[in-house]
Amino acid sequence: MVTMKDIARHAGVSPITVSRVVNSSGYVGRDTREKVESAIRELNYIPNLVASSLRSSQSDLIALVLPDITNSFWTSIARGAEDEAWEHGYGVFICNTDNNVAKEASYIERLLRRRVEGLLLVPTPDIESELQLRRMRSHGLKFVVVHRRLVDFPAEVVRSDGESAARALTNALVKAGHRRIAFIGLPATDTSSADRLHGYRSGLRAAGLEFDPQLVRQGDADHGSGGYQMVRDVFQGEARPDAVLLANSRLALGGLRAIEETGRCIPGDIGVAAFHDISAMDHYAPRLIRAVQPGYRMGQLATRRLLHMPVEPNGAYKEVILQPEIHLPAITGG
């Protein structure tokens, strides 16, 4: 019977290194890992993964819990996470919560039972989501929060800077000559939406423009219909915007359809800035001022931090903030 010592001699490494590769119990460089895996194949070594997992209470799997994988923004995060995990010999479970806190809690309970190595979490915009973070920490499960800022809970976080992006979009609309800029966003309970509203208000203040609550609409995306209704509502009000900042991609789809139905041309008749994170918006892209978030990079960095995180980080948590790219319209006429 082939043993780990046989694999170590064949690969020219120590038995401890072979054990780390087989049990996914520590960091091993890519080249070394490939040598060990090649030796395992050549000698036809079949490790007892079930026994190994029970002994170490670890597995070679991590989990990614996010709102909806059909949204291409979350897909890009998932791809970045999976590619990085694969480089280190891990597989990835993907769980969709649909921003439902009960579903989120159910998945976390199952993942704790499966003894996954760690978890990447896009928390639901619900105050009860923090209870799940505390539960994971009490069970010793490593986790990294992705995309959403936490308010009062210290943790590893990887997110993009929605506040500075919204400020930059507002500034670009002002430079284009707009003064009555509407804001269409998700509810303020979503910290990413709260950040974008703050960035919008900061951009107005920097331009010497007064914030008008009548130009703000916030609500659920509802796969685009929410944005459609909110844009229609703000146009029918007394504020009469000459530009719109669409602070969420799903909202933007419905909002852009509502603008088209008014007969207004973008950007000739009305300026539009938007967060462009889903491929369904590509048709509109040349006419918009856009903020593009680095979804793939977020997934990649979050996974890297998770896999290199000590089991007990002693409170030394870090927030990594990535900058979105700002793109001006390629088409400037109507």
Q: Please give the domain boundaries of the chain with CATH numbers for all domains.
A: 4-56 (1.10.260.40), 61-160+295-323 (3.40.50.2300), 162-293 (3.40.50.2300)
Give the up-direction half-sphere exposure of residue 180: CA atoms within 13 A in the CB hemisphere.
12
Exposure class string for 8-41: b at 16+ Cβ within 10 A, else e: bebbebeeebbbbbbbbbeebeeebbebbeebbe
Strand-pairing partners, residue 24, are none
Q: What is the mean pLDDT of residues 54-62?
A: 66
Q: What pLDDT, on the 0 to 100 scale, is given for residue 276?
A: 92
Tokens linked to 98 = 């649909």
How many angstroms separate the CA atoms of 287 and 271, rounded? Answer: 9
Is 326 exposed, middle or buried, given 0-12, 13-18 or 19+ CB atoms closer than 10 A?
A: middle
Q: What is the mean pLDDT of residues 243-251?
A: 94
Lowest mean pLDDT among 23-27, 46-50, 329-333: 46-50
Tell me the per-residue pLDDT of 171-186, one tens digit each, with 9 for 90 and over: 999 999 999 999 999 9
Q: What pLDDT, on the 0 to 100 scale, is given for residue 29?
A: 87
Give the up-direction half-sphere exposure of residue 15: CA atoms within 13 A in the CB hemisphere.
5
Tell me the per-residue pLDDT of 262-291, one tens digit each, with 9 for 90 and over: 999 999 999 999 999 888 889 999 999 999
Tell me the per-residue pLDDT of 123-167, one tens digit each, with 9 for 90 and over: 998 777 888 898 888 888 899 999 998 888 899 999 999 999 999
Tokens linked to 231 = 């844009």
Q: What is the mean pLDDT of residues 105-125?
A: 89
Q: What pLDDT, on the 0 to 100 scale, is given for residue 55?
A: 47
Q: Model confidence at 37, in pLDDT bands (50, 70, 90)?
A: confident
Q: At residue 50, does pLDDT exceed 50? A: no
Q: At residue 76, does pLDDT exceed 70? A: yes
Strand-pairing partners, residue 320, are 158
Q: 299 vs 331, which has greater pLDDT? A: 299
Q: What is the mean pLDDT of residues 107-116?
A: 85
Q: Model confidence at 21, in pLDDT bands (50, 70, 90)?
A: confident
Contact 115, 83 (CB under 8 A): no
pTM of the model as a whole: 0.80
Sign of CA dihedral 9, 11, 17, 20: negative
Q: What is the mean pLDDT of residues 208-235?
A: 90
How many angstroms separate the CA atoms of 119 and 115, rounded? Answer: 10
Q: What pLDDT, on the 0 to 100 scale, is given for residue 54?
A: 42
Tell me how many degrees the CA angle 186-189-190 measures, rounded to the nearest 5.
55
Lowest mean pLDDT among 43-57, 104-118, 204-218, 289-303: 43-57
Using alpha carbons, list the distances in angstroms from residue 327 to 162, 288, 294: 15, 8, 13
Q: Model confidence at 115, in pLDDT bands (50, 70, 90)?
A: confident
The residue among 171, 139, 143 whose CA lies nearest residue 156 is 143
319-322: strand order across its sheet: 91-96, 61-66, 118-121, 142-146, 157-160, 319-322
